[in-house]
Chain A
């Protein structure tokens, strides 16, 4: 199989990630629960992983790295716990439903007003629109670092400057960029960075989290066992316990820790360069094929995604043919990105997304181009 659905999850993981999970499955106790050897080993693994993530993302305090089971959970914690009731929030048309649905819920249940920076038909946004949409009630900007549909990257330094200038909270969805592009919370003025472990970081599914700027208070999304302060009726207020209730996914975090070591060895810059080169190769190959329409602006910074349609073919049928006839895994449909599909005019047809990872090869890319060439041929 040629796996080109890495924006959904990176299916191929470094061997050391697999080994770390397997090893943890037979040796790991419960982190922050007890002081015997296996419990301490779990606590040490979790703590070390917080430190590695803090370093990777430029988060000042490792104890402000909170583990969740994915980006969606992290975004729910951030959006529901940090945005004041009745305030106004600015987001963008580039967002995934993991941002949109929590925001829509706040709109319905907590009288939060929403505005969206529009995307044009190439999936581009105008940064001046952020400032134009600010009102006296605006409390936060919630935006993605890169579109999961097109790969279009948002200039977070620029958005961070706007947020800082106007005293707004900046919550970032880094689902598509964590491990695939450099992120620096300080340089980008990010208050809360939400990430997943199983995509660019190449860790196990069921891992993810949020990094929180020092001094920020977030109302807990869930409360319960913390392994400490057991007679306190309330969730402990100290980070990270304030936002972590119940047993962590220790086995997954052990794998994520190994993935971060691997990432540190090969470097995010090297990964981004290779993925970008493969993406360019694919883009050049398919954009020249008659009957193929590629979406997005390839002159701007982006992640390694190429999204296209062939003639008027239903995107699901194209994706199905790629899978059944060529063994190529892609993603068709709406990609949980309804606002961007509306902006592109692809709600009826959907689109076929090819997303590339560190483990893809030039040969695989060339095979995918030949498959698209063949499917685009008219009978």
Chain B
């Protein structure tokens, strides 16, 4: 797994848990965004949303989760397969 391309995904049992944590992360000023949960790491959850973090925000996100005891399923690293090509197209 190439270190430079690793992204961290927070997985949830449902959208409500995910949206709640996103609110908490934003309150704490932690950069994150919603993304579809990749199939490769969904396990038994299947489908749904995840919160996508860049590696530099991982520890702050973990601390936020612990501080608020925020429900989540797992935090999982995954190598990004697609590099943004927006500038070549739009």
User: What is the interface of chain A, defined by CB distance below 8 A to chain B?
Assistant: 312-321, 324-326, 332-336, 338, 348-350, 370-371, 374-375, 377, 379
Contact = CB atoms under 8 A, between A and B. Distances in A.
A350 to B, nearest CB: 4
Interface in B60-90: 78, 80-86, 88-90
Contacts of B86: 325-326
Nearest first, the 5 A-B pairs at minimum CB distance are A316-B36, A325-B86, A350-B39, A333-B47, A316-B38
B76 to A, nearest CB: 12
A326 B90 contact: yes
Given A326-B90, A333-B46, A333-B47, A317 B38 contact: yes
A334 B82 contact: no
Contacts of A335: 47
Contacts of B47: 333-336
Interface SS, B side: loop
Contacts of A379: 83
Nearest to A348: B39
Given A317-B81, A321-B82, A333 B89 contact: no
A324 B37 CA distance: 14
Given A333-B47, A334-B47, A321 B84 contact: yes
Contacts of A318: 82
B51 to A, nearest CB: 12
B38 A314 contact: yes
B40 interface: yes
Interface size class of B (residues with CB under 8 A): 20 to 34
Given A333-B47, A370-B89, A371-B89, A325 B39 contact: no
A375 to B, nearest CB: 6
B85 A325 contact: yes
Nearest to B85: A374
Given A314-B38, A317-B38, A374 B82 contact: no
A336 B37 CA distance: 14
A133 to B, nearest CB: 27
A325 B84 contact: yes
Contacts of B38: 314, 316-317
B46 to A, nearest CB: 5
A53 B39 CA distance: 39
A317 B37 contact: no
A313 B81 contact: yes
